[in-house]
């Protein structure tokens, strides 16, 4: 049994968050430390700790995360100019919260996706 994170409390509305979208499968809310003018997190309502834990049975929720990202990008007015969808995994990926989440980031040019670490 994986341990819940703060994101489960956000899903259940036990702690405050700027929730933009919620349905039976996913929840989307503004990141507390935005890295760009638009920075939204889209998460499955059930706990999947990392991308390594994604199973075929999660495909419906993962697909919904993608379609909700497209809808929210459109609503934020950043669809035409473009944006970035990011999912970090584990230590090397820089994952901090162990409940998978897709970052929807945009509203300005984002530069190269990676800079090589020496
Ligand atoms: P990652 O490094 O991919 O695990 O990103 C975690 C993100 O979660 C980070 O951008 C900050 C955000 N975050 C962490 N705690 C909270 C919280 O309590 N509320 C909200 N809205 N965002 C949070």
Q: What is the CATH classification number for the domain harbouring 18? A: 3.30.428.10
Q: Is residue 114 part of a domain?
A: no
Q: Give the span between the Cα atoms of 78 and 38, in whole angstroms.
A: 8
The rounded Å distance from CA 92 to ligand 1 centre is: 17
Indicate which residue's Cα is closest to atom 17 of ligand 1: 32
Summarised one tens digit per residue, pLDDT across range 101-118 is: 999 999 999 999 888 777
Catalytically annotated residues: 101
Indicate which residue's Cα is closest to atom 5 of ligand 1: 96
Q: Which residues pair with 104 in a beta bridge?
A: 40, 85
CA dihedral 52, 5, 96, 11 (to 10 degrees): 90
Q: Which domain holds residue 81?
A: 6-106
Query: Is the CB of 91 inside a 6 Å radius of any atom of ligand 1?
Result: no
Query: Is the CB of 33 inside a 6 Å radius of any atom of ligand 1?
Result: yes
Prediction pTM value: 0.97
State the pLDDT confidence band at 1, using cuts at 50, 70 and 90: low
Q: Is residue 115 part of a domain?
A: no
Query: Is the CB of 95 inside a 6 Å radius of any atom of ligand 1?
Result: yes
- Total domains present in the chain: 1
* Residues 94, 87 contacting (CB under 8 angstroms): no
Query: Is the CB of 19 inside a 6 Å radius of any atom of ligand 1?
Result: no
The SS3 assignment for 30 reads strand
Summarised one tens digit per residue, pLDDT across range 28-82 is: 999 999 999 999 999 999 999 999 999 999 999 999 999 999 999 999 999 999 9
């Amino acid at each position: 049994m994986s341990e819940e994170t703060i994101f489960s409390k956000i899903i259940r509305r036990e702690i405050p968050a700027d929730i933009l979208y919620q349905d039976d499968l996913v929840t989307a809310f503004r990141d507390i430390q935005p890295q760009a003018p638009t920075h939204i997190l889209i998460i499955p309502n059930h706990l999947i700790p990392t991308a390594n834990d994604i199973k075929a049975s999660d495909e419906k929720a993962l697909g919904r995360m993608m379609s909700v990202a497209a809808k929210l990008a459109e609503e934020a007015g950043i669809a035409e100019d473009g944006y970035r969808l990011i999912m970090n995994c584990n230590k090397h990926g820089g994952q901090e919260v162990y409940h998978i989440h897709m970052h929807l980031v945009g509203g300005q040019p984002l530069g190269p996706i990676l800079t090589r670490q020496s």
